[in-house]
Structure formats: C-alpha cells, structure tokens
Structure 1
C-alpha cells in the first residue's frame, strides 16, 4: 500500500523528534520520564503539524508500554469500553486521545475514575488552549505541555533527512538548499505540510533534482490557513487588536492578511468595532463610525474586495490617537456598583412620591441640570471618567468636564430651584 512521505518520516522514538528541546533535550521532562520509566497523564497542545500525536506515540514506544489511539471527535463510548477492558487485562494502558478538547461530558465522566486510579495513562492532543477548552476535572489530572511550531531550521533538517532516509526518498532525489528553505518557509511550522510539498515537487523533478522551477510548477501555497475554531485563529485576532493599539499599521496589515483566508467577517467585524471604541474611543470618535461604515460596505461587496474598506478602517484606527477613557470609566462604575448598589435619589425617579413641586426635578429648566447631583449621596463625589488628553477632541471634553467639576453639584433641589428663580 502506498504511504505518504509525511507518514513514512514520522519519528518513532523521542530522540528522533525535531525541535521541542524544552520537552525532549537532555534533562528535559519527557526524556526524564522515559529514563525513569514513570509515565503520567499529559495534555499536549499546539498548532497543527507540530508533532503532538507523534510525540505521544514516541513516548509510548520509549516507555515500552502498549498504547491505543482514541479520537474524541469520532470515537464512541463502545470503543472506550473496549480500551478500558484491554487496560484491565494488560494491567494498564497508554491512551493517546486526539482532539481531546472534544470529549463530551459523558465520555469524560467515563474516563475519570480510570485516569484517577492509574489504570489509564492518557496523552491528550489538542490545537485548543486546554485552560479554556478542557474540562477542569480532566485538566487537573494531567500535566499540560505546550508543543511549539517547528522553526525553519528544524523543518530544513527534516527535509534534508527525508532525501536520504530509507524511509523517505532514499537518495532517489536531490534538492537545492534554496528549495528546502523555500518549502520550510512555506510550511508555517507544519512539518507534515513541508513533507507533502517536497513530495509534490519530486513528481515534477527532472534528472532526479528538485529545483526552484519545480516549486513554481507545483503551485505551492504558503500554509497560512487555519480553522476559525482553533487557538491560532484567536491569537491572530489578538495580534491584530494589539497591533492597532500599538499603532503598528504594518503588523495590523499582516494579521489582517492572515485572517482574510478564514473568511469570517462576523468575528473580524466584532473584534474591530470593539477595538475602535475600546482603544481609540473619544480620541477619534469619527474613526469609530468609519469602522462601522467600512463593514457595512464590506458586507455588501464580500471578499476578496471587502479587504479594501476593511484595510482602510484598520489603517485609520492604527494611526489615530488612542484613548481608553470610555472603557476605564464604565469598568470603574461597575466596580463601584458591586460594593455600592444604591437606588437613584428620590428627585431623579420617574414618579417621585412625597416631594413638593419645588423639590422635584424640573423638566423645563435646562439651566439647572448641570448643577444637580445625580449620584447617590454615599458616592456623590466619585469620579469614574478620567480624560486621556491624546487628541484635541478629548481635550475639549476635558475642559468642559473641569468646568463642571469646579462649580459642583447639589442634592438640595428646592434651594437650587428657588435660588435660580431669584437670579
């Protein structure tokens, strides 16, 4: 049966693993686990193609214990029961659980006592951050280890090995150094993708030599696509927002370019409109409105043309002055509310009871409104809004705010009404 180069080059022992020095180098945790023959349950998390399942398989091989692979997305309870029975017969079993974050509650409850008593040692593999996506009951019984994307030099090393390895291309082909570097850069840290690219290029190669012409003929594409449910997607959205906050227009354009492939305009709109009001806010309110308008246009025309109005909005937000005063003000008010859940003063209520006419809020006296105390008495002098003087617009707001604070406010509505009448 034909098997792919990526499959054939899969490591079988810890010492064959590329990269991941923090886990498999001398003195590192997994190597110590093998040396001491003391396995414990783990969760490996990281992006696709970085070697999570391979690492788990190598660990089982080096420990010399039988293992089974269970896919949490497609596996059912019956398969799980078979694994548990096998574990009882063999006095323990190493179980590699792919997509471990997709284990439903029933499956988790079924596994928990067997993980707890040591009958099953699991190695869960996931592209999702386990601190967000995995049930705390499972998480608390496992040691969480990050598996990092492979660096370019690791991937070049893997490709070079594959050219000569009997399990790989077995010296049937040669490749220029620039070809291997190009493929490694295309791979985005995914070694499987790199092996697949090299294998495709070998099909078009002449004279058993893979050249840059073969890379061009093979129509290779950079591996920038990712599932919008994966951490990498949300990390990219986070990179976009932080680039805007840091006024790095080039960083923002790069992360936006990555997100275009996902085609998820709804998440992009939600993140960018939030960013506009959270990070730019009162420093440039018009930029906030232009962001909303840009997405109205983007939804009418759709991708790929939608990239144009969205890019303009991102550039606008990046290079605008920044102010988080709006977000900070409401967060401060919420914090005070949790410790001081107070009713509105009687004179502000919709239908105040027991007040004389001149003690009530006067709807026809706008000249009085800015002298009235609106906060409840116990927090009457609380200030939630602190201006950010990063733009002429908010500086103007701050000047008016200072004027209002200077003349103060009162809860003596009767005196205020009568005083202003005499004046």
Structure 2
C-alpha cells in the first residue's frame, strides 16, 4: 500500500496546503499554471512542503510528455535517453522533465539539458532543498525561474493531520478519538513538513491499537513517533547557515531573546564548534571597541564550553550570547580594516617610509633605513607627530571612533594631546 502521505497528495492547487504567496488567488505561479504556458522553473524550499505535489499538478495541464528523474539516482545516460526521444513521435509537442533534487546533478549532467531548454523542446521543472544560487550552475540557472516554497504554518499542517486521521478512519472503518493537543503537537513537532507530519500521524495510529472498535490516539504516542523531528538541520545545507546568520544578526540587533532562541536550536543540533566560532567573531565584529573586554570574556566562555562538552556547555555559551546581545555595539574595527583592505586591493599601497623601516642590521643607516625615526616614549604623553603611512597614502583615513563611551573617551584623550601639535 502507498504511504498515507502519497494517498493524501492534493490533485489541484486549491487542495495544496500553504504556499499562498505562489498559488493563492493572485499568486504568480497559479497564473502561470492557468495560462498553460509552462516555463523552465526550479522550486526551492525544505522537504515536505509541496514542491513535488505542485510539479505533479502542473504536469497535468501540459500536453507534453512527462519524464521524471531524481538527482540522487539519475545519470547522464538517463538524461540522454530523454533527449534522444525529442523530435520523435513520442514527444510531438516536446517533453516536460521533472527533476527532483537537482542539487545532486553535477555540472556536466546539468549542462546536458542546456541546448534543449534553449530551443524550447524540453521544459524543466526542477526542485531542490538547497539554495539554487549555490548548487545550480549559472548557465542553467539563468534559464530557470526560481520559486521559493516556504515552511508551512502550524495551522496549515494541523488541518492536514486531521485529514490524515479522517482518511485512516475511512479506510479502516474504525472510529478514533484524539487526546487533546495531538494534532497541534504533530504539526509543531514536524516543523512545517507535511509529509513528516502525516507519516507521524500514521505511525501514531498504528501504535494505538483499537479498543472496542475505537482507537485512542494519545499525546504520548505522538511524542514517541515524532521525537526531535522538528529539528530541520544540515551542517552542509542552508539551515546551518541560516541559523548561524539569525544568531549573529539577533546579537548584533541587541535582541537577547532571539539570540537565545537561535542558540538553543544550534545546540540541540549538537553544533558546538560553529556556535563557538560565531560567538568569538561577534565579540570583535559587532561589540568590538565599544567594550574590548568582551573578547576575553567570550573566549573564556568558549573554552569552558569546549572543556565541559554538552549538555553543560550550553550554560557558558548562553552567558556569552546574552553578554554580547546586551553589550554596547561598535563595528569601527571592522569598518577600518575593510577600508584599508579596499585601498590595498585597489593598488594603493606605497613603500614603507624609510624612517619606519628596520634598522637593526649593519648597513641600514647607509640605506637611510630607520634614520630620523622619533621614539614616541621619549616625548610628553608618549606621542610625537611623524608620518607613518606611505607617501602615496599620506592623509588616508580608515578609523572613525564609534559613538560609545569607551571609544569617545579615547577620542577625547587624543584630541586634547594632538591639538597641541597642530
């Protein structure tokens, strides 16, 4: 028997849960489907949210012969077999290829499709769980329209879960009763993945045997079959970088609650190294000179976490995340180094001034190296003006003091000293 998720698969766009930004009444994808003119497309989004279902529905409105391939198993031979049937009586109106998991196709496999996509004889509908801008080669991607499918809302998945139980009742002839919170739990635990939620509902049905012709679907049974399924995470995939990005931006935005949320998701995925590295980067990139001590404190928290291991590591890491989120912010160091790097990459380098060059060797004085250098510690306030930048960059400005207490105190200190030498 087919899995319940396949038996419940929608047959029209109106039956598809969610994705209203694409297939709602004013959705661009709905309008394309209704026009009957299907362009080359790629559907991008996490698993179990309707990409394959929508592709199946689209295939029904075209007169072209439908072929299906999966990037995990297909070869160039499979692609060539389809190409060989173009311009034959088998495909008088051309072919429609649905290629699932296109990210597993290598460059040569993807390029095999190119010329036939260009002349219109082959229409490609691809799907991928990974960012197409990273995994599809530019020449192929430029001929595809990208549609992003979003994770479903809890209420959308909950309605499908209830329909799954109704279907099981109809197929078995047995009545059922759901313990309070069952549908909501399955919808939330499966994090917007309809296929996973329906599969969990079917397993819960099977693990709750009927009593007097009625099945009582308990919350405990659902927790057993859906455990940790809400963790959509792949250390090599989009979710890895999206969660790290969200953690970083939440801390940069001084939102401690969001910072702890994303930290918890990363820690539950056992991604300790990535968290430690990112927190260390944030300390210098976003707190920076507004509170220089943050770097050493975060380093201590990271060292403690790595020594403790999970689950205790979550405590010092949470301290570090909250400290950074609530600390004053400055990106003055980041901006300074980026400006300097930009000058260097543009060729604005210049020779080191002779008086700054190394003079600790015989013959340096004859070359004029270190001659005329003034040792700042010999002067009042340990400062004396002299040229440090190369001649070509004389007067270049990279660092702006940030508008925070620490940097402004430094600015006032040096302004008072330097104005005496103007």
TM-score class, shorter-chain normalisation, is 0.7 to 0.9
For 1:275 and 1:237, how far apart are their aligned partners in 2?
Answer: 11
Larger deviation, residues 223-232 vs 85-94: 85-94
Partner residue of 1:417? none
Q: Which ranges of structure 2 fall in alignment gaps of 5 or more residues? A: none
For 1:226 and 1:358, how far apart are their aligned partners in 2?
Answer: 57
Partner residue of 1:412? none
2:238 alignment partner, one of 231, 237, 246: 231
Decide whether the 8 Å contact of 1:228 with 1:262 is kept in 2: no
- Deviation of the 1:330 alpha carbon: 1.1
2:103 alignment partner, one of 95, 101, 104: 101
Partner residue of 1:285? 292
Runs of 4+ in 1 over 4 A off after TM superposition: 166-171, 216-219, 351-359, 362-366
Partner residue of 2:137? 135
1:156 alignment partner, one of 155, 158, 161: 158
- Deviation of the 1:363 alpha carbon: 5.7
Decide whether the 8 Å contact of 2:49 with 2:194 is kept in 1: yes
Decide whether the 8 Å contact of 2:186 with 2:226 is kept in 1: no
For 2:285 and 2:355, how far apart are their aligned partners in 1?
Answer: 33
Partner residue of 1:181? 184
- Deviation of the 1:121 alpha carbon: 1.0
Decide whether the 8 Å contact of 2:71 with 2:104 is kept in 1: yes
Decide whether the 8 Å contact of 2:165 with 2:201 is kept in 1: no
C-alpha distance 168-84 of structure 1, shift in aligned 2 (>3 A)? farther
Q: Structure 1 residue 371 and structure 2 residue 373: aligned?
A: no
Q: Structure 1 residue 332 and structure 2 residue 339: aligned?
A: yes
1:117 alignment partner, one of 116, 119, 135: 119
2:401 alignment partner, one of 379, 387, 398: 387
How many residues in Structure 1 have an aligned counterpart in Structure 2?
A: 407
Decide whether the 8 Å contact of 1:370 with 1:404 is kept in 2: no
2:410 alignment partner, one of 373, 385, 397: 397
Q: Which ranges of structure 1 fall in alignment gaps of 5 or more residues? A: 410-423
Larger deviation, residues 395-404 vs 315-324: 395-404
Partner residue of 1:406? 419
Larger deviation, residues 300-309 vs 160-169: 160-169
Q: Structure 1 residue 298 and structure 2 residue 311: aligned?
A: no
TM alignment of 1:22-421, pairs within 5 A? 22-89=21-88, 90-91=91-92, 92-165=94-167, 172-176=174-178, 178-205=181-208, 206=210, 207-216=214-223, 218=225, 220-337=227-344, 338=346, 340-350=348-358, 359-362=371-374, 366-367=378-379, 370-391=384-405, 393-403=406-416, 405-407=418-420
Decide whether the 8 Å contact of 1:281 with 1:323 is kept in 2: yes
For 1:110 and 1:357, how far apart are their aligned partners in 2?
Answer: 62
- Deviation of the 1:360 alpha carbon: 2.9
Measured on the aligned residues, the alpha-carbon RMSD in Å equals: 2.8
For 1:311 and 1:358, how far apart are their aligned partners in 2?
Answer: 50
Deviations 1:395-417 (A, max 9, x none): 332233324542458xxxxxxxx
Decide whether the 8 Å contact of 2:365 with 2:371 is kept in 1: no
TM-score w.r.t. structure 2 length? 0.87
C-alpha distance 216-398 of structure 1, shift in aligned 2 (>3 A)? same
For 1:193 and 1:72, how far apart are their aligned partners in 2?
Answer: 21
TM-score w.r.t. structure 1 length? 0.87
- Deviation of the 1:219 alpha carbon: 6.3
Decide whether the 8 Å contact of 2:289 with 2:407 is kept in 1: yes
Larger deviation, residues 186-195 vs 353-362: 353-362
For 1:10 and 1:119, how far apart are their aligned partners in 2?
Answer: 29
For 1:184 and 1:204, how far apart are their aligned partners in 2?
Answer: 18
SS of the residue 1:62 aligns to: coil
